[in-house]
Structure formats: structure tokens, C-alpha cells
Amino acid sequence: MAKEKANQRAYTVRDSDFLSRGTRCAAWLYRPAHVQDPPMVILAHGFAAERTFRLSAYAERFVEKGMAAFVFDYRNFGASDGQPRNLVNPSRHLQDWEAAIAHVRSLKGVHNNKIALWGSSLGGGHVIVTAAKDSGIAAIVSQVPFVDGLSTLSNLGLKYTFQAVGAGLRDLGRMLTFRDPYCVPVVGTPDRFAAMNKPDAREGYLAIVPPDSSWKNQCPARIFLVIPLYRPISYAARVSCPALLLVAEKDSLIPAEVVEKTAARMSKATVVRMPVGHFDVYLGEVFERVVQVESDFLAKHLLGSG
């Protein structure tokens, strides 16, 4: 169905699902109505999040600039198929990114050779790894990115680490004996163990979950056995395309200095620092500032304009 924005730029949004390793991933394709063969921005979210969690707000701004946008859910999330639900796994997510790119490159009516990637938080790490492996990517936006599992775990403390490993082993045992997963909350308050339980985590995360969402605040705990070994920073030097890294200087989850260290390894990195927290980038005045910077960056490298 076509939508009309206040600035009179029309665009259409339609479903454009694709398969990743045989499982259907749900996606939306945003296309500006009066731009022939527009370049494409592919977007996906962070830890245990769904595309309905404010990704449309970013996609709409990019489309207003004359770019197409492709927004998808990872397998096991949102409107995508797959069990168990809310299974966070970087290897699987990276496969979904590769499948999404292949799907976009097969679409008609878009510029298949001008594709940028946009990811936030854990997704921000995924776009770094994906661009390092795919030399055909034109640009990436890595927003408050997860770049080093070891540094993030260290930032969360020793007590958290013991709890995480224990929960992960418990879930692994259930997986090996073909039982339902042992799940932990995705976000919680500091007095309760959760994947993210810093003081700003629960309120900040839930603020972007739509009121009518059926999303459950839980994920299989096996992720804790994998995430410390996931280090997008180790791929940074192989990213040859222009990259925008947005650093939240007050990030409670991801040390800002590690994101800056990641950017320093890239040959064409632009770093934008903001005195905000990890979850501030999705809403309000901070969102407006962030999306303007990102839109201008993408327009420069995909459209040759500011």
C-alpha cells in the first residue's frame, strides 16, 4: 500500500520475504515512488529485537532521501519462521544477512550494485562482519555496535559472568536432551539476572516495543556460551567500504573506547560520538539527530549527495 509523507514524497511498502537456509524470513520492501532504480539500504535489529521495534522510523527517513529500504526479521523472530523463538545466535544472524543481500540483489527495480547495510547494537556488529566478507557492499552504518564479546562481558562484571555461564550450560543440557529451552529475560532490572540488566536497560529497551506486540521478554540462555567469542572487531580491518560508526559515550553495555578502536582499524571509517546512552538513539530528539546523520551519510555514498 502506498504511503504519502508530509513532504509529499510518496513511497510504497510491501512484503518481500526470503529464505535463509530453507526457513522463511519476513521482510518489508520500501520503495520511493518516483525514483528509478534506487539504491538500497538493508536494515536489521539488535539483540532479540524485531523489525517492528522502530526500524520503520529509520527506513522511512532513508526512503525520503530517495533510497529504497529493506527491513527484515531474523529467523525465529517476529514474523519470520523458525523454532525455538527468540533464539539469538550470531552465526545464524550472519547467514540471514547473507540471504537478505542475495534476495535484494535479485530484485527488479532497484540498483542491485548499490547496497548499504544498517545495523544497531548486535546488528551493528553483524554489518561489520558482513561487509568484511562481501566486497560488493557500498557502505555500512553501525549504530551503537556490539564489537567485542569479551570486552562486553568484562564490562558486565564477574557475578554476571558466572550467572550467564550457569544459565547457558543449563540451556545447553536441555537442548542436548531435546527439551524446551531454558530461557532468561532479555532485559531486566539490576537486581534480577537478564541478558541486559544495567539500570537503563529495561526501560530503554521496552520503550521501543510496540504496545500491541506479542514479543516475549525471554531468549534461550545458550547464547551466553557463544557471545563472548563473537568479535566483529577482528573483522574491522577487512571492511573496505565507507563505514559510519555511531558511538554512545554513555553506553552502559558496550564500552565506547572499544567501538572507537574498531573504527580505527577501518580504512574509510567515520566516527560520530554523542553524549547519550545505548537506548537513547531510538527515540525523541536523539533519534532525530542520529537519523539525520545516518541519512546524510547514506545519501552521500549511495546517491552522491548530502
> In angstroms, rounded to a whole number, what is the distance separating the alpha carbons of residues 5 and 23?
34
> In angstroms, rounded to a whole number, what is the distance separating the alpha carbons of residues 145 and 268?
17
Average pLDDT, the chain: 95
**Residue 55: predicted pLDDT:** 98
Percentage of residues in the chain having pLDDT higher than 70: 96
**Residue 1: predicted pLDDT:** 41
For the chain, list the domains and their CATH numbers: 2-148+232-303 (3.40.50.1820)
> In angstroms, rounded to a whole number, what is the distance separating the alpha carbons of residues 112 and 48?
29
The model's pLDDT over 44-79, given as tens digits with 9 standing for 90+, comes to 999 999 999 999 999 999 999 999 999 999 999 999
The model's pLDDT over 219-249, given as tens digits with 9 standing for 90+, comes to 999 999 999 999 999 999 999 999 999 999 9
Q: Among 139-148, 155-164, 177-186, 290-299, where is mean pLDDT lowest?
A: 155-164
> In angstroms, rounded to a whole number, what is the distance separating the alpha carbons of residues 12 and 9?
10
The model's pLDDT over 276-297, given as tens digits with 9 standing for 90+, comes to 999 999 999 999 999 999 999 9
Angstrom distances, CA of residue 62 to CA of 1, 40, 102, 116, 293: 18, 9, 21, 11, 11
- pTM of the entire predicted model: 0.95
Average pLDDT over residues 196-211: 97
Average pLDDT over residues 99-106: 98
